[in-house]
Structure 1
Amino acid sequence: MKIQGKTAFIAGATSGLGLGAARHFAERGANVVLVGRRRELAEKLAAELGDNALGLGADITDPEQVTAAIQATVDRFGAIDINLNTAGYIAAVGLTTADGTPTDLAEFSRMVTTNVVGTFNVMSQAAAAMLNNEPDDDGERGVIINTSSAAAHDGTVGMVGYSATKAALVGMTLPAAREFAGRGIRVNTIVAGGFDTPIFDGFTDDAAIAQQVQHFAGPRRLGRPEEFAAFAAHLVENGYFNASNPRLDAGYRIPLQF
C-alpha cells in the first residue's frame, strides 16, 4: 500500500514512537490522525504537522471515545487506511512483592486494560472502518500495525505483568490476519526493543540504560523513534508482510536482571 494520500490513524501519537511515526508518515504525504489522552497536546502537534493532520483526544480503553475518533477521522479524510497502535503503559509488576506478599492487582489490571483491551478496541473499530474501503489494485483495504516489546519473549524479573500484555499482542497477530484473509486487511506487530521514548521515564535511570545497551548486538544505543517509524512505513508499503511479529531491537535480549 502506498503511503502518500492514505490516512493513518495513530493511537499513542502524542509522544515517543507514535509521534515519530506521525511525523514520518506526514512527511511521506499521508493524512495523519494523532490520537492521545491529552486532546490539547494532540491538537497542538497536529497543527505543527500541517493541514493534513488532525489531533484528537481519546482514551483508547473507552469504546465510545474511540468510535467518536474514528468517525471524526472518516468525516475529515474520508477513510482510514492505516492503523498504528503505540499507546502503552509499563510498571514493575511481579507475582509477589519484596516482602513475599501477593501483588496488588491494580497495576496489572491497568496494564491489561491499556495495552491489551485498549489496543483491541482500536484495532476492532479501525478494521470495521477499513472494510468499507474500496480495495486498491492489489486488493488491499487497510493495514494494522501493533507495537509489542522484547519483553514479550524474554521478560525479566519484575516484568510478569508487562510481558503478559505484550505477549498478548503477539498472540493476536496471526488470528487477526487470518480473520481478514481475502478481505484486504493485513495485520503485523512490531516487537520493539529499547527505544529512546518517554515510556521509561521514572521506570529506569540513565545508569541502568547504559548497562542494558551492552546487551545489544549492535548498534549499542537506544533506538530512535524515526527508525521505528521507517520500519512501520515499510510494513505498510510491503504488501507481502502479513501475520508477522518482526523484532526491531538491535539484537537485544533482556538479561535476568534489568
Structure 2
Amino acid sequence: MAARVSSPRERYREQTRAEIKEVAVRQLAAGGVEGVALLRIAKEIGTSGPALYRYFASRDELLAELVLDAYQGAADAVHAVDTREGGRAVLHALTGAYRAWAVAQPHLYLLIQGTPVAGFTAPAETVLKARSVLGPFLSVFAEGRPPAAVDPLLEQLRTWLDEEPEVASWVRQWTDRPAGPAAAVALAGAVMIWPQMHGAVSLEIAGQFTGMGHDPATLLDVQTDLLAGTFQLP
C-alpha cells in the first residue's frame, strides 16, 4: 500500500509544532519546567498567543509531548547498544549509554525523573515509553541466576506477571520467556538496576558528588558490576 502523502497544511502544522517544542526545550534547559511559557514561545516564533493554542491546547499538553520525547530519547540511547551477546559487558554499556544521555541533557532527564510537576498528569503512553527504556535490561538479566536473597522480590514479581498480562507480554517481548520463574528473574534484574542507576545519575546531575573525590561514571560502573555479580552474569 502506498504511503499517505501529507498535505502542505499538515506539513506546516507539524513543522510549527516541532519549532514550538524546540523553543520549549530551550526554555526548559534555561529555567526548568517553570521557565516554559507559551506566550514567550509565541513571541519567539513570531506568532500570537491565541494562534499558538491551535497547536497545543495548553502548557500541560506541550509538557506531555516533551515528556514523551524525552523518554524516546532515553530509549533511543539504550536501544543503540547491541545486546545480542548479553552478559555484564552489555549491562555496563546500557547503564553507560543511559548515563551519557542524561548527563548530556539534564533538563530532559529531570523532566521525566525529577520532582513531579504540580498539577501535571503525564500521558498514559508514558508507561509504555518508560518500559521501552527498560526493555533492553530485561534481555540482559534473562540469563541471570540470582541468590536466595532475591527470592522475596522474585515471588512478588511472579505474582505481578501472573496478574498483569501486559507486563508479562512486555517481558516476553524482550526475553522470549513466558510468565514464570525465568521471566521473574529478568524482571527482578531490571527492577533492581533501575533505582541503582537513577540514584547515581540523579545525584550526579544534582551536583551532590562534587568534591567527593570520585568519578560518577566509575561509581556507576562499580555498582553495575556488583549487581551483575549478584545475578552471576558472565
TM-score (norm 2): 0.29
Higher Cα Rg, which structure: 2
**Larger helix share, 1 or 2:** 2
TM-score (norm 1): 0.27
